[in-house]
Amino acid sequence: MAIHTLNPATGKKLRTYREHSPRQCELAVARAQRAFAAWRRTSLGRRTARLRALARELHRQRADFAALATAEMGKPVTQALAEVEKCALGCQFFADHGAAWLADERPAGAPAHRYVTCQPLGVLLAIMPWNFPFWQIYRVAAPALLGGNTVLLKHAANVTGCALLIEASFRRAGFPPGVFQALVVGPEQASALVSHPGVAAVTFTGSTATGKKIAALAGAALKKGVFELGGSDPYLVLADADLALAAEACAAARLYNNGQSCVAAKRLIVVESVRAEFEALLVARLAARRSGDPRAATADLGPLARADLRDRLHAQVRQSVRCGAKLLLGGRVPAGPGFFYPPTVLTGVRPGMAAYDDETFGPVAVVISAPDEAAAVRLANDTPYGLGAAVFTRDRRRGEHIAREQLECGNAFVNEFVRSHPALPFGGVKQSGHGRELGAFGLREFVNCKTVSVG
């Protein structure tokens, strides 16, 4: 079968790719297993050197990488460049710090003749989404490869070109054949790979519905898995917040990556006493954002990645308005080519509305009124998701207490919008998944922490 990629800014076809056959997938797994046998014996110093070479390769090719992401999924080119630079930073970071996290350790209180060593698991299958077509992959692959594993990538179909470019970057950085491979396959073959006896572990980033299916397959085979799933991140604006700061941060967090981020500011929960003022500031900032050709450095907002994503988002907005929500900005599908959608603000959003109950994946800001701080926290946690959250208040100590003790999520920020960093664990709770990426926690997800005793 064939996979077609489209330019979401124009709706026109970019390229056609032929899917790998089941036989080709079998051969890829076998190559990954053979490569693992040698790669796990490669010294940590040499594995680290390959990561440093990969970081240099990403710096060198950043313009080509960014242009392809912009063409295939519509990311504004300035943001695409920043994504590639973050990938290089992540590879360099694990090269700098990973060895210390993988070193043999004798925990406090352990007998003198016993210690813990970190050993690789084997072939890791990474099933990845399109919205951050490079960062999602390198943040998984860098620590997994440093730990001695090999990686098979099943990327989203609409960024197939990005997947193949990523594979080439590992080759150019000097990684041995078979250590990192991209497979061009559909959902059926991906499911078969999850169950394949040659695959030792699975990592998945994407929707909660698909994540549950992948997790069920992995669980049936007793395979380790890390799942970073959907999110409906609440951003709390308290009565004493710096409203200009909050509005700017919420606008940036809502529109970044064309609003297609798992940790975007999806539900803005505002204490009623400052709601009207905050809404005015938010609408002004969103209205000032420039939408257009994502190749232009002046574009703040590009198209959604696919037509069906825009259709679903618009249906969520229309359903919410029919149920009583009020449009303060946007909410209309623009004429012309491509899958563009304008910055949109809904207020008066309540349970039973799609904008309240479901994750909105696009440039739609949802304002929910709360009578006071306690109610704002309850509303924030009134969701099946638990990926990220933020709270805005001039009282930093109170904000820290809310973030640390009260918000049910994996990433809680005070007076800034949620984003990942290579040093810190990233992941969620509840229906947002389990396991962690990045940092020492992420590095150790796909190693066997083995106890050794020498009597």
> Do 66 and 115 have their domain in common?
yes
At residue 1, the pLDDT reads: 81
Write out pLDDT tens, residues 238-266: 999 999 999 999 999 999 999 999 999 99
Average pLDDT, integer, range 110-114: 97
Angle between helices 135-146 and 44-60 (to 10 degrees): 160
- Which residues have C-beta within 8 Å of that of residue 99, sequence separation ≥ 6? 44, 45, 48, 146
Q: Token digits for 299?
A: 């574009």
Same domain as 367, residue 262: yes
Whether residue 420 is contained in a domain is answered as no
CATH of residue 108's domain is 3.40.605.10
pLDDT in the model for residue 28 = 98
Q: Tell me, yes or no, whether 421 lies in a domain.
A: no
Same domain, 405 and 436: no
Domain count for the chain: 2
| pLDDT at residue 166 in the model | 98
Read off φ and ψ for residue 311, nearest 5 degrees.
-60, -45
Task: Say what percent of the chain tops pLDDT 70.
Answer: 100
Q: 18 and 98: one domain? A: yes
Regarding whether 321 and 384 lie in a shared domain, the answer is yes
User: What per-residue confidence (pLDDT) applies to 209?
Assistant: 96
91 is catalytic: no
* Identified catalytic residue from 262, 279, 373, 437: 262
* pLDDT tens-digit readout, 404-416: 999 999 999 999 9
| Separation CA 91–CA 290 (nearest Å) | 32
| Res 332 pLDDT > 90 | yes
pLDDT digits (tens, 9 = 90+) for 9-33: 999 999 999 999 999 999 999 999 9
The answer to whether residue 422 is domain-embedded is: no
For residue 440, name the pLDDT band (cuts at 50, 70, 90): very high
Is residue 299 domain-shared with residue 436, that is, in the same domain? no
Range of the domain at 287: 234-414
pLDDT digits (tens, 9 = 90+) for 119-171: 999 999 999 999 999 999 999 999 999 999 999 999 999 999 999 999 999 99
Mean pLDDT of 87-99: 98
Evaluate whether residue 150 is within a structural domain.
Answer: yes
Q: Do 39 and 73 belong to one domain?
A: yes
- Let me know if residue 52 belongs to a domain: yes
Q: Is 445 in the active site?
A: no
359-380 pLDDT, tens digit per residue, is 999 999 999 999 999 999 999 9
pTM, to two decimals = 0.97
Q: Are residues 238 and 277 in the same domain?
A: yes
| Whether 238 and 224 share a structural domain | no
Name residue, tokens 């970071």: 93
User: In whole angstroms, what is the distance from residue 252 CA to residue 236 CA?
Assistant: 15
Q: Is the pLDDT of residue 69 over 90?
A: yes
| Structure confidence at residue 410 (pLDDT) | 98
- Answer yes or no: is 442 within a domain: yes
Residue 153 placed within a domain: yes
The length of the chain, given as a count of residues? 455
Q: pLDDT by residue (tens digit) across 262-291?
A: 999 999 999 999 999 999 999 999 999 999
Q: Which position among 72, 83, 228, 359 bears the catalytic label?
A: 228
User: How far is it, in rounded angstroms, from Cα 19 to Cα 54?
Assistant: 27
C-alpha span between 423 and 213 (Å, rounded): 30
* Beta strands across the sheet bearing 150-154: 180-183, 150-154, 123-127, 201-205, 224-228, 433-434
CATH of the domain at 352: 3.40.309.10
In a shared domain, residues 396 and 447: no
Hunting for tokens 């006896």 — which residue is that?
197
**For residue 424, pLDDT beyond 90:** yes
CA distance 56 to 293: 29
Residues 50 and 29 in one domain: yes
Does residue 419 lie in a domain region?
Answer: no
Mean pLDDT value across residues 186-202 = 97
Average pLDDT, the chain: 98
State whether 433 and 396 are in the same domain: no
